[in-house]
């Protein structure tokens, strides 16, 4: 049985070395995304947040009834707060459901 001068871990990898788990440098931490999301209410000044407009609110609620977060929807902080308030108001008036039961 021949031994090499460097110690190896259980699978033939040198111990103590830098191992990035098989990922290249560009895949490890430098991720680029396609396009910056833009708030639809800031971009279109005619669009208003309204709790009575169910067709507009459905884009900001999942099929289970949860409010879509700001990082997913692309809303700015001001309009995300007003959107959440409008969704909660329309739930209180039974315009949209609180939760959709699976079954």
- pLDDT digit string, tens, across residues 64-97: 999 999 999 999 999 999 999 999 999 999 999 9
Q: Is residue 9 part of a domain?
A: no
Supply the pLDDT for residue 102: 74
26 has pLDDT over 60: no
Q: What is the DSSP letter of 5?
A: S
Q: Is residue 78 part of a domain?
A: yes
Q: Is residue 29 part of a domain?
A: no
- Model's pTM, two decimal places? 0.65
Measured distance CA(22)–CA(31) in Å, rounded: 16
Supply the pLDDT for residue 35: 78
Residue 45 CA: distances (Å) to CA of 1, 36, 41, 49: 77, 19, 6, 11
Averaged confidence pLDDT in the chain: 81
CATH of the domain at 59: 4.10.640.10
* Burial class of 13 by CB neighbour count within 10 A (0 to 12, 13 to 18, 19+): exposed
Measured distance CA(65)–CA(34) in Å, rounded: 28
Dihedral over Cα of 54, 60, 63, 64: its sign: negative
Q: Is residue 30 part of a domain?
A: no
**pLDDT above 90 covers what percent of the chain?**
53
The whole domain housing 59 covers 35-92
State the total domains in the chain: 1
């Amino acid at each position: 049985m021949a031994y090499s001068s460097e110690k190896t871990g259980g699978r033939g990898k040198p111990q103590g070395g830098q191992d990035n788990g098989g990922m290249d440098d560009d895949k490890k931490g430098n991720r680029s995304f396609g396009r910056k999301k833009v708030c639809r209410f800031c971009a279109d000044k005619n669009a208003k947040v309204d709790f009575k407009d169910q067709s507009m609110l459905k884009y900001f609620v999942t099929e289970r009834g949860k409010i879509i977060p700001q990082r997913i929807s692309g809303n700015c902080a001001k309009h995300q707060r007003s959107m959440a308030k409008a969704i909660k108001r329309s739930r209180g008036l039974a315009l949209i459901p609180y939760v959709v039961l699976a079954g």
